[in-house]
Amino acid sequence: MANTINTNVIVPEVYASLVRERIAGKCKVAQFLNNIGDLKGKVGETLTMPKWAYVGDAVDWNIATPMDVTQMKQTYTTATIKAIQAPGVKVADYDDEVELGNAINEAANQQAIAVARKYDTDAIACALESPLKYQLATKNTVTQAEMIAALGLYGDDRDSADFDAIVIHSLFAPSFYLMDMFVSTEKTMTKAGNGITVNGVIGYFLDIPVVLSDRLYDSTNKEAFMLFMKKNAISIIPKESPFAEVSRDASLRQSTIYLSQFYAMALTDDTAIVYAKTVLPTD
């Protein structure tokens, strides 16, 4: 009799690549992370990341006098090295062969969702450390005038090409559908197709993509919020891509798949993110 090979044995490197491919498409805020190098250090240790200092709030201007000028300054921020894990999953050879669907692919998909949500949770926490914040008048509602005012916190430094996105909770979507600058075909800044959701983007406001993420929710104050995000606002230093390990129980012909990762993440540009909500922290 010819020898046979058990094709159900999971190769960790191949499985990890399946997870990595799926993570990118499932991140909302974290899809815009700026990777600034490889992590060196132990879990729980802190490291430093370069950070741009905030130039200060806008003030009243006497038009008969020159405007105030300040030099851009680079400082440093610290970030804690974290270890995360997706829930481990068990895949039996029998189930993978006879159940409808592919159990290994489904496991990779679900672990990717778990990691992506953790990335987003950490990235949102970093974003809320920004000193730039705008107070909305009504919970879960934003007006066109408020959108323009929030963008006004960037001063004249708001070229659309400098932004990654405006990320909003879906509760704000009805507000956008009422904005002339978002849906009116008579406005020159309105993009064709606005209001149609494609890959999480519901359209463009002043040529900036508007992305849906229901993770932008303050459960304490029971309100949704928005993030205006410029490029390279939040940085990540990963130890590795998500790392897969497989524990094989030959007696049961069953594999347990573990997925973990080490990384550090921090807000590294105080001028890059504006968050908007009704309840703002007191300084």
pLDDT at 67 over 80: no
Range with the lowest mean pLDDT among 21-35, 100-114, 162-176, 219-233? 100-114
**Whole-number average pLDDT of the chain:** 84
pLDDT tens track for 118-137: 999 999 999 999 999 999 99
Per-residue pLDDT at 105: 80
Tokens in use for 207?
Answer: 């040529």
Per-residue pLDDT at 100: 44
Q: What are the domain boundaries of the chain?
A: 10-56+74-130+234-272, 132-232
DSSP 73: -
Per-residue pLDDT at 281: 83
Inter-residue long-range contacts of 197-205, CB under 8 Å, 24+ positions, other chains counted: 199/25, 200/28, 201/165, 202/173, 202/176, 203/176, 205/147, 205/166, 205/176, 205/179, 205/181
Range with the lowest mean pLDDT among 46-55, 188-197, 209-218? 46-55
Fill in the amino acid letter for 228: F
Note if the pTM is more than 0.85: no
Q: Report how far residue 152's alpha carbon sits from residue 188's, in angstroms, rounded to the nearest whole number.
A: 20
Of the segments 97-101, 197-201, 238-242, 253-257, which one has the largest average pLDDT value? 197-201
User: CATH assignment of 10-56+74-130+234-272, given 3.40.50.1000, 3.30.70.520, 3.90.1150.10, 3.30.2400.30?
Assistant: 3.30.2400.30
Per-residue pLDDT at 4: 45
